[in-house]
């Protein structure tokens, strides 16, 4: 029997980043939303643990030991006292790599959920989140896969402010934006941000949510733009669209998002952008 799990794209609606602490980590405050586009992970019983990778962006990933899906699977089996258990995992990679969409962490979370069910380990969400946090700073958030606020290193999770689902367009200009390089550029620029958590008003419409988010920021956007100016081209193109209510980069880039008043507007904008920029990865989605 094949088990399947969806690994949603993560979008940082805002990302406030403080200077690094003595141990080298950057405290953050971020509102994370999850899209109805993403990767897919399947699992089947097998004699040994293995991973195959396919999909539009599969060629850019290794199925070796450093893959987050395999690391998550091994961690789960170790916690479950079944280190020798097997499974055939298949990752269909539909999200760009090094894109600021939390793809690897979401893939790992999907693998944890799948194997927990398939092997009958019986771990609750809290236990799975603990394991996911061992894999990466946003592992627990991506395991949940629902809108939330993250603080600390990304492991301190709390409910998101109430707001409606957000129609959006995601655009990646086809360039990687490695997290480590962006953080180093942020530090070299004096790390001017801070991990402040903005107070949220009542938000009943997408326009109200966009207006509140406009007063927030992504502190990694300026250093990412310095390293890769083509991210700026994508941001400028989105901001110039008549449907645009808010445009911002997600995470450490290179994916940018644009909030729209309706899904129909988001789909119309995505279609125009795909025609005008066929080399870009463009998706209409809903963030929630």
Q: List residues with catalytic annotation.
A: 10, 138
Sort 282 into a burial class: Cβ within 10 Å, 0-12 / 13-18 / 19+.
buried
In Å, how far are 13, 14, 176, 283 from 248, measured between CA atoms?
Answer: 8, 8, 17, 15
CA dihedral of residues 57, 63, 66, 71 (deg, nearest 10): 100
Sort 134 into a burial class: Cβ within 10 Å, 0-12 / 13-18 / 19+.
middle
Distance of CA 60 to the CA centre of its chain: 17
What is the rounded CA–CA span in Å between residue 66 and residue 114?
A: 19
What is the rounded CA–CA span in Å between residue 255 and residue 174?
A: 9
- DSSP E strands, the chain: 3-17, 28-45, 49-54, 87-92, 148-152, 156-159, 166-172, 246-249, 256-259, 281-287
What is the rounded CA–CA span in Å between residue 20 and residue 177?
A: 20
In this structure, how many other beta carbons lie within 10 angstroms of the beta carbon of residue 52? 12
């Amino acid at each position: 029997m094949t088990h399947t799990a969806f690994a949603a794209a993560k979008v940082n609606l805002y990302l406030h980043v403080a200077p690094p602490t003595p141990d080298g980590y950057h405290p953050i405050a971020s509102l994370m939303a999850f899209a109805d586009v993403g990767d897919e992970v399947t699992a089947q019983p097998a004699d040994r643990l293995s991973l195959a990778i396919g999909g539009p962006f599969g060629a850019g990933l290794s199925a070796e030991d450093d893959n987050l899906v395999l690391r998550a699977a091994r961690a789960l089996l170790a916690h479950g006292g079944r280190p020798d258990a097997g499974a055939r995992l298949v990752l269909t990679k539909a999200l760009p790599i090094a894109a600021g969409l939390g793809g690897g962490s979401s893939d790992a979370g999907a693998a944890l959920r799948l194997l927990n069910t398939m092997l009958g380990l019986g771990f609750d969400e809290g236990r799975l989140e603990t394991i996911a946090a061992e894999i990466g700073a946003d592992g627990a958030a991506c395991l949940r896969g629902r809108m939330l606020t993250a603080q600390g290193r990304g492991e301190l999770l709390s409910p998101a402010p109430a707001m409606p689902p957000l129609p959006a367009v995601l655009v990646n200009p086809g360039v990687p934006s490695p997290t480590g390089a962006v953080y180093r550029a942020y530090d070299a620029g004096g790390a001017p941000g801070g991990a402040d958590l903005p107070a949220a008003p009542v938000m009943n419409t997408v326009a109200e949510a966009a207006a509140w988010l406009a007063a927030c920021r992504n502190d990694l956007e300026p250093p990412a733009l310095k390293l890769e100016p083509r991210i700026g081209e994508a941001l400028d193109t989105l901001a110039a669209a008549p449907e645009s209510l808010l445009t911002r980069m997600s995470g450490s880039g290179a994916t940018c998002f644009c909030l729209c008043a309706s899904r129909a507007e988001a789909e119309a904008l995505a279609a125009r952008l795909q025609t005008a920029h066929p080399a870009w990865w463009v998706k209409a989605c809903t963030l929630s």
